[in-house]
Amino acid sequence: MLTPPNEPGFDNTSPAIFVADSDILARMVIADYLRDCGYTVVEGASAEDVLTVLNAARKIDIVLADIRLGKTDGFRLARQIRKNFLKVDVILTAGVAKAAEKAGDLCDDGPLEKPYQPQEIVRRINLLRERRRSARKS
Amino acid sequence: MVLARSHGVHVWNPSLSGELLFIVSCDHLPTAGEANRQRVVLVVEDEVLIRYAITDHLRGASYTVVEARNAAEATAVFVSGAPVDIVFTDVHMPGEMDGVMLAQWINEHYPGIHVLVTSGRENAARLAGVIPGDSYFPKPYTPEEVETRIRSLLDS
């Protein structure tokens, strides 16, 4: 029933973004925007959702996660991703200034502070992809 | 005085002299934007990999898909005013409402929205009489079967 990463029908070219937010309305808006921008988007509400998908070897390039995700927060999720999934970048979003500071060292370029413009996410995504491309060349 | 009403086209006769004057209002006909809108499927499933398999397939079939992990999220979507044409929901989900209760809530507050409730065969007897027979969708299923059923309901 699931389409493994290397079978026909699985898109290996379109960047895949995992949008993790426990607020469904926020998640819907961002996910729809990113799909309209041409990204493949997977949605989830918890860190467990993210790790389930990553552990299933689904192609995910970037995880966009709110710091408030329930039992396992975005900080712990980011640490686990940086430790176990080296090819996956993380963008954290935070609604509180202090939390935003704490998120600063867990994701490049600091966290995205809410409220943010959707275009800012795309800018961050492009920045991360460019860094990956440059790292591969060097 | 309304002389005729059919499919949202109202025909009035406001003339006092007996002449028939037709004023036609098309208040329920879809606007150009609505007519071109993709059909919206709300998929309610707590297991992320199952949900992704279904939603990915439906998006590939040109549906707009909204994802919810439980009944609370699904009701929030409806309350937000986001358009939904059909709901595909599992029965067993974490939270106070299961899929059957969600279907009943939708039927009460948003009548006319198709709801498909999916469950294993062992629950078929329990669901009989609780939800309409054509709302039951048995497991196991493939995403293609889900799409076929959704398409047949929306096209009918």
Q: Taking a contact as any Cβ pair under 8 Å apart, which residues of chain B between 28 and 47 contact chain A?
A: none
Average pLDDT over residues B13-32: 40
Query: How many Å apart are CA A75 and CA A79, to the nearest integer?
Result: 6
Alpha carbon distance B100, B117 (integer Å): 7
Give the C-alpha separation, A36 to A32, whole Å.
6
In this predicted model, what pLDDT tens digit does every residue of A21-49 receive, in sequence order? 999 999 999 999 999 999 999 999 999 99
Rounded to a whole number, what is the distance in Å from the CA of A69 to chain B's nearest CA? 13
| A24 interfaces chain B, CB cutoff of 8 Å | yes
pLDDT band (50, 70, 90) for residue A50: very high
User: A53 and B49 in contact by Cβ < 8 A?
Assistant: yes
Q: With an 8 Å Cβ cutoff, is B83 touching chain A?
A: no
Contact A75, A57 (CB under 8 A): no
Cα distance between residue A30 and residue B141, in whole Å: 30
| In chain B, % of residues over pLDDT 90 | 60
So what's the pLDDT on residue B8?
35
Length of chain B: 156
Contact B49 A56 (CB under 8 A): yes
Element (H or E) spanning B26, and its range? strand B23-26
Question: Is the predicted pLDDT of residue B101 greater than 90, yes or no?
Answer: yes
Q: Is the pLDDT of residue A102 over 90?
A: no
- Among B62, B22, B19, smallest CA distance to B40 is for B62
- Euclidean distance between CA atoms B137 and B149, whole angstroms: 9
pLDDT of residue A116: 80
User: How far A79 CA lies from chain B's nearest CA (Å)?
Assistant: 21
Kindly list the residues from chain A whose CB atom is less than 8 angstroms away from the CB atom of residue B146: none
List, for residues B103-134, the tens digit of each pLDDT value.
999 999 999 899 999 988 656 666 767 777 77
Q: What is the mean pLDDT of chain A?
A: 83
- What is the percent of chain A where pLDDT is above 70? 80
How far apart are the CA of B85 and the nearest CA of chain A, in angstroms? 16
Q: Give the distance from residue A137's alpha carbon to the nearest chain B alpha carbon, in angstroms.
A: 32
* Residue B10, pLDDT above cutoff 70: no
From A3, A43, A52, residue closest to B67, measured CB to CB: A43
Q: In the prediction, which pLDDT does B125 show?
A: 60
Tell me the per-residue pLDDT of A104-119, one tens digit each, with 9 for 90 and over: 566 666 778 777 888 8
Which element (helix H / strand E) includes B44?
Answer: strand B40-44
Per-residue burial over A96-122, b = 16 or more CB atoms within 10 Å of its CB, e = otherwise: eeebbebbeebbeebbbbeeeeeeebb
Q: What is the DSSP letter of A46?
A: S
Using a cut of 0.90, tell me whether the model's pTM lies above it.
no
pLDDT of residue A108: 61
Flag whether the ipTM exceeds 0.85: no
Q: Which of B68-77, B91-100, B129-138 has the highest mean pLDDT?
A: B68-77
> Quick one: average pLDDT of B58-76?
97
A42 at the B interface (CB within 8 A)?
yes
Is the Cβ of A28 closer than 8 Å to some Cβ of chain B? yes
| A133 against B83, higher pLDDT | B83
Question: How many percent of chain A have pLDDT more than 90?
Answer: 49
CA B47 – CA B91 distance, rounded (Å): 12
B94–chain A Cβ distance below 8 A for any pair:
no
| Minimum CA–CA partner of A31 in chain B | B66
Q: Decide which of B26 and B126 is more confident.
A: B126
Contact A1 B143 (CB under 8 A): yes
Grade residue B12 by pLDDT with cuts at 50, 70 and 90. very low
Q: How confident is the model at residue A58 (pLDDT cuts 50, 70, 90)?
A: confident
pLDDT above 70 as % of chain B: 72
Inter-chain CB pairs, A–B, below 8 Å: 43
A37-61 burial by CB neighbour count: b if 16+ within 10 A, else e? eebbbbbbbbbbbbbbbbeeebbbb
Taking CB atoms and an 8 Å limit, are B69 and A45 in contact across chains? yes
CA distance A12 to B13: 63
Contact in structure between A132 and A89 (CB atoms under 8 Å): yes
In angstroms, the separation between the Cα of residue A80 and the nearest Cα of chain B is 19
User: Which pairing describes strands B9-12 and B2-6: parallel, antiparallel, or unpaired?
Assistant: antiparallel
Residues of A in contact with B69 (CB under 8 A): 24, 44-45, 49
